Structure 1
Amino acid sequence: MKNKSLYLGLFILLSLASCHKFLDQNPISTVTDATSWKTDADANAGIAGCYSLIRSAFDASLGFYVYGDLPSDEFNNVVDGDFNNIRMVNWAISVSSLNTYDPKLKLRVYTSFYASIQQSNRCIHFISQMPLSAFNGNDAQEEMANRNKYLGEAYFTRAFNYFYMSRVWGDVPLDTSYQADISGFDGQTRSPQNQVLNACIADLSVANKLLPWKDESSADRVVRADKGAAFALLANVYAWKGSYDSCNKACDSVINSGSYALVSGANYKDIYKGQSDEGIFEIAQNSSTEAMNATQYSASIANYTLATPYLPINTIPNWQIDPNMLHTLYSDTNDIRYKNEFTSLVSGNVTYYSCIKYSNIETITNNNVNYYLSKNNIIIFRLAGIMLLKAEALAAKSSPNYAGALSLVNAVRARAGINSIATVSGRAALIDTVTAERGRELYLEGSRFYDLVRNERLTGVSQFPYISQNDFSAGKYYWPLDPTLFTLNPLLTQTPYWMQLLTN
């Protein structure tokens, strides 16, 4: 039986709060386009909509963690059968369009991402037309800076959505124009992935010219894009393309900026509350008005990874960590990450392990009923991840930079309180070393699945439990599109691997 959400009661409770947070602003809709876009506040609300819609896409069936973690080697069982099929890469199971709760249906549909893209297109179109005098500032220079920042964020969010969809589906329709009237839409084909990624690079080139570096004094730091977020996204785009020299340069722009610093090992869990010194780009969910109901079905990562005492309603974790993988990855049990970010409990004669990164839970009691708020930002990019991505770029070279790659790996290991790695023999071993360190550092941060994809591209060796080397070569790691999308867009074709497996 599905765990029914107490969302309505929680909504009523939270509606009493007076704080009005950034992502609570409604996106500007096409209904108000003719009368809006007059003031700085209009532009700000429009940009808020871009981020809010990204958050909606990631919260729909835990998309960020399902796409990036669940089908990897991190888990060996899932209690919820719908998610367990996803873990085992059974992505082609037919789902009735009436079963709107089913995560297989939600995760095969890219509509939420395109809603955010259309909002970015709308912002670019209208903000570009607004006069400088519409923006806040004491002079024309400040007004220009504010307009540029909004435009930079719009270009960033569009690039972010297209990059994310490219990793999930491969080829996707590419549209960078504002559409005031879509009544004449008769379909659009999927654009080649490389074309989509090149469009991301072009958008990020514009964004980097418009955005400032991080403003430490801003309450919205790292939950809104700045130049560091744009370079971090650019580095990830280049890594996915296999353009590692360009990836390395983009990583250097972040690392050498001086805008970010590794938090101390003792304060690891502060990273996941959000807006730490290490954070580069995050989706805001750490305030009471933005937080997720921790018990919400198919939406809260806390509900699936936590159990008592962190989330008392769960006696065992729903997504169950593979203990063999865990102990192989963290073979050094002195690793602060292992000690601080994982816990175990015994039920019957079985020991279950939980990742407790997302255990910043606030309990609210109303009429003697407890409600649980999960107050953790979605961490998209942080400094340690960029350092290890640079290490990957140095390891991927035909003549690897062993010293440079290991220096970065060891800097991350030093923060975790474990010994340095002195030497590694061979390019494949160096790549595996970096991938393993990313697995330890970025466990359950939406990265592992894509790290293993890039690793297999570089080494030719599969580490996936349910994707063989032949299936990998055939593109099984790209998701199918749900057939309901073909009704709306008759020019779509199915993802090649799934073409004969999901037809209706």
Structure 2
Amino acid sequence: MMKIKFNTLLVALISFFTLVSCHDDLNQTPIDPDSTTEEDVFANASQAKGALAKLYASLALTGQQGPAGQPDISGIDEGFSQFSRMLFNLNELTTDQAIVGWGDPGLPDLHGLSWSSGNDFTEAMYYRLAQEVSFTNSFISNAELLADEEVNQFIAEARFLRAFAYYNLMDLYGNVPLTTEISTELPQQASREEIFNFVEEELLEIEDQLADSGANEYGRVDRVAAWALLSRLYLNAESFIGTPRYNDAVTYSEKVINSSYSINTTDANGNGSAYDELFLADNNTNGAQKEFIFTLNFDGIQSQTFGGTTFLVHAAVGGTMNPAEFGINGGWAGNRTTKSFVNKFVKTNAELNASIGPVSDWGIIGNSTPNGWADPDTDMYEASPNVFKIFTELTEGELKFRKNDDWSVSFGGENGNLIPDGDNIIVETTGRVVITLNLNNNTYTIQSIYESLPDARAMFYTDGQTLEINDVSTFEDGFAVTKFRNIDSNGNPGSDSTGDFVDTDLPVIRLAEIYLNYAEATLRGGGGNASRAVNLINELRERAYGNNSANITSGDLDLQFVLDERSRELYWEGLRRTDLIRYEQFTTNQYLWPFKGGVKDGVSAPTYRRLFPIPNDLLTINPNLTQNDGY
């Protein structure tokens, strides 16, 4: 196995600031590596702002050249080492929400909860976060020499990014070195509680030094980001350090909820839902941006990487999927999801039918339908004037539409077009389906239920895919996820005409998460208002369903419901492993999913898997460090 090396952990300042920022949203001029000196970088506030851009870019990009070449971390494919790609691998691929078909050494072990202490991916994430700490430490120490009020805000932003890096180090690895200055001395290992206290103190100290809510440039954090990260920190306090902080989680969630940020309700592409806009190529302008508290910004031309959303879009496309519909030139046929996650969206047919509308006088009949050719017909439900739907089971065979269980008014058809008293419709889609009869334009559709669930967050591709996974390496085993696209709200592909790189920004923290933090912390005794928690969740569900048909009451709200709602709302956004650990469902047999523990039906795993190992190279170099238990 190749050993991963962090090329810039202890680099000189000159090396740090010759890395060019590709975040065009920060509107910075690239620094010329042939002419830059340390004094130039921090000559004034304008130059310091250019250096600040690199701190943000180092979480989005992977090296000094572009998508590949001069990587920050060697010994692993450069695209693999990008921060949010690693976050997906460690916090999503290890759970029920994602599974990958690629066989790169160490990668299949993540979903199987069987990684070794020398796993390339767990090591790469450690070094990526260590790099961010190193960069922010260097920036802070040098920027503090400038007496400028604007620079003080830059320093606060750098401190936020350092706190964010340490939050993730604490979450993923537990006890790690705590350093706030660049030094060649070997650091001591801090306890998880010490890291927790550091992150908390930093965020509390900088909240008033950051820009007001919504007052900073898009892509840069303001004080709401500090409140949001505190909300996340306090929600996990009992899991991290054994001390409940749910009152604080409620307090800081309320600060965020009462800020200028708001849930996106703009259905910019007119498809009936405002949820998908959050993950389209123009999500920095289509209305979604008002929900984004902290994002990683990507541009198919200016900030190219094989990680980020380029990875999330390409890796999820394969099989019979059309890459052009996702704004890319081809799929990598890797990531899918498991039935355990799909079933988070699936209710019984009776429950789904009840959400449509009243029973109508139209029905289906035929040997593919539940009642066969015998009376009575299987009733459909009125969704809107002259539009009727039903969720049901179909087998191979034929069907027709009838009114009032009588052949005097009936429709057959083909290719989605209705024909009065026409030939029987050949059923090609079987299993659980949703059938729509539209008499406004004389058409019909028969779709797999999994592509037409009323919850618009259920974004699956099922054609040629199986719900059951028998062979992890086969892309067609498991439903594909269509959440992220390189298509804008007008249906146009992203800016990279080659279709290689993606424009879609990635929300790292968005307001919907904080709504759910508030609800969970309230249920765990945090002193919040239960009625408000219900209202917040219903706000998310009304966006997902397009109406209030799936709204909940206080009687529906319990901790398991919140966990499932977090899964439905936040999947593939880098939070699932942490959530499952908090609920004692990550390693235990309380909740099993396909191939958990490397077994098809799932098995429990040792509790030490809640943390990843400290990189072996560091243990060799630094005798002050102790490996996590179990490794």
> TM-score when scaled to structure 2?
0.63
Report the Cα distance in structure 2 between the residues aligned to 1:113 and 1:25, rounded to whole angstroms: 25
By how many angstroms is 1:306 displaced?
2.2
Aligned equivalent of 1:257: 259
Structure 1 gaps of 5+ residues are 1-17, 96-101, 133-143, 499-504
Aligned equivalent of 2:43: 38
Aligned equivalent of 2:187: 188
Q: Please state whether the residue corresponding to 1:46 is helix, strand or coil.
A: helix
Q: Deviations over 1:204-232 (max 9, x none)?
A: 1122010122446x6x31x1110111111
Report the Cα distance in structure 1 between the residues aligned to 2:589 and 2:536, rounded to whole angstroms: 24
**Cα gap change, 1:327 to 1:264, in 2 (>3 Å):** farther
Aligned equivalent of 1:239: 235
Matches within 5 A, 1:264-343: 264=266, 266-272=273-279, 273=281, 274-275=283-284, 276-286=289-299, 288-293=301-306, 300-307=311-318, 308-310=321-323, 317-331=333-347, 333-338=453-458, 341-343=459-461
Report the Cα distance in structure 2 between the residues aligned to 1:299 and 1:488, rounded to whole angstroms: 35
| Among 53, 57, 60, the residue aligned to 1:55 | 60
How many residues are treated as equivalent by the alignment?
Answer: 441
Aligned equivalent of 1:497: 630
One-letter amino acid of the counterpart of residue 277, structure 2: D
One-letter amino acid of the counterpart of residue 455, structure 2: D
Report the Cα distance in structure 2 between the residues aligned to 1:345 and 1:316, rounded to whole angstroms: 17
One-letter amino acid of the counterpart of residue 439, structure 1: S
Aligned equivalent of 1:213: 212
Q: Deviations over 1:290-346 (max 9, x none)?
A: 24358x9x98222321233136766784122113430234436211111xx332221
More strand by share: 2
More helix by share: 1
Aligned equivalent of 1:70: 93
Which 10-residue stretch deviates more, 481-490 or 324-333?
A: 324-333
One-letter amino acid of the counterpart of residue 624, structure 2: L
One-letter amino acid of the counterpart of residue 487, structure 1: T
**Is the contact between residue 99 and residue 337 of structure 2 (CA under 8 Å) also seen in structure 1?**
yes
By how many angstroms is 1:476 displaced?
1.5
One-letter amino acid of the counterpart of residue 258, structure 1: S
**Is the contact between residue 21 and residue 290 of structure 1 (CA under 8 Å) also seen in structure 2?**
no
Report the Cα distance in structure 1 between the residues aligned to 2:299 and 2:567, rounded to whole angstroms: 24
Do structure 1's residue 436 and structure 2's residue 564 form an aligned pair? yes
One-letter amino acid of the counterpart of residue 164, structure 2: F
By how many angstroms is 1:194 displaced?
1.2
**Cα gap change, 1:286 to 1:251, in 2 (>3 Å):** farther
Q: Deviations over 1:42-71 (max 9, x none)?
A: 211221121122224772582121122111
Report the Cα distance in structure 1 between the residues aligned to 2:304 and 2:505, rounded to whole angstroms: 8
Aligned equivalent of 2:513: 385
Report the Cα distance in structure 2 between the residues aligned to 1:164 and 1:330, rounded to whole angstroms: 32
**Is the contact between residue 47 and residue 154 of structure 1 (CA under 8 Å) also seen in structure 2?**
yes
Do structure 1's residue 485 and structure 2's residue 618 form an aligned pair? yes
**Cα gap change, 1:25 to 1:389, in 2 (>3 Å):** farther
Report the Cα distance in structure 2 between the residues aligned to 1:442 and 1:378, rounded to whole angstroms: 12
Which 10-residue stretch deviates more, 114-123 or 440-449?
A: 114-123
**Is the contact between residue 28 and residue 45 of structure 1 (CA under 8 Å) also seen in structure 2?**
no
Report the Cα distance in structure 1 between the residues aligned to 2:317 and 2:615, rounded to whole angstroms: 30
Aligned equivalent of 2:544: 416
One-letter amino acid of the counterpart of residue 344, structure 1: T
Do structure 1's residue 170 and structure 2's residue 174 form an aligned pair? yes
Report the Cα distance in structure 2 between the residues aligned to 1:123 and 1:56, rounded to whole angstroms: 18
Report the Cα distance in structure 2 between the residues aligned to 1:357 and 1:395, rounded to whole angstroms: 29
Report the Cα distance in structure 2 between the residues aligned to 1:363 and 1:388, rounded to whole angstroms: 31
Matches within 5 A, 1:344-363: 344-346=462-464, 352-360=478-486, 362=493
Report the Cα distance in structure 2 between the residues aligned to 1:39 and 1:400, rounded to whole angstroms: 45
**Is the contact between residue 305 and residue 354 of structure 1 (CA under 8 Å) also seen in structure 2?**
yes
**Is the contact between residue 28 and residue 50 of structure 2 (CA under 8 Å) also seen in structure 1?**
no
- Identical aligned residues as a percent: 20
**Is the contact between residue 213 and residue 260 of structure 2 (CA under 8 Å) also seen in structure 1?**
no
One-letter amino acid of the counterpart of residue 44, structure 2: T
One-letter amino acid of the counterpart of residue 126, structure 1: N
**Cα gap change, 1:205 to 1:457, in 2 (>3 Å):** farther
Q: Please state whether the residue corresponding to 2:464 is helix, strand or coil.
A: strand
Report the Cα distance in structure 1 between the residues aligned to 2:526 and 2:204, rounded to whole angstroms: 27
Do structure 1's residue 475 and structure 2's residue 608 form an aligned pair? yes
